[in-house]
Homo-oligomer: A and B are copies of this chain.
Amino acid sequence: MSDDVVYLNPPGTCPAQGLYSHAARVRGGTTYYIAGQLAVGADGEVVGADDFDRQFAQVFSNLGAVLKGLGCDFNDVAKFTTYLVHSQDIERFMRARAALFPKLFKSELYPPNTLLIIDRLVKEPFVIEVEAVVSAPDA
Contacts and interface: CB of A to CB of B under 8 A. Distances in A.
Contacts of A31: 25-27, 78, 135
A57 interface: no
B116 A17 contact: no
Contact of A122 (B8, B18, B24): B18
A20 B15 CA distance: 29
Interface string A87-115: 10010000000000000000000011111
Contact of A33 (B37, B129, B133): B133
| Copies per complex of this chain | 3
A62 interface: yes
Interface string A40-59: 11111000000000000000
Contacts of A22: 34-35, 37, 66, 69
A35 B131 contact: no
Contacts of A69: 8, 10-13, 22-23
B122 A115 contact: yes
5 contacts: A10-B70, A14-B44, A17-B122, A22-B35, A87-B120
Top 9 nearest A-B pairs (CB, nearest first) are A10-B69, A36-B114, A35-B112, A33-B79, A117-B120, A15-B44, A117-B119, A14-B40, A26-B31
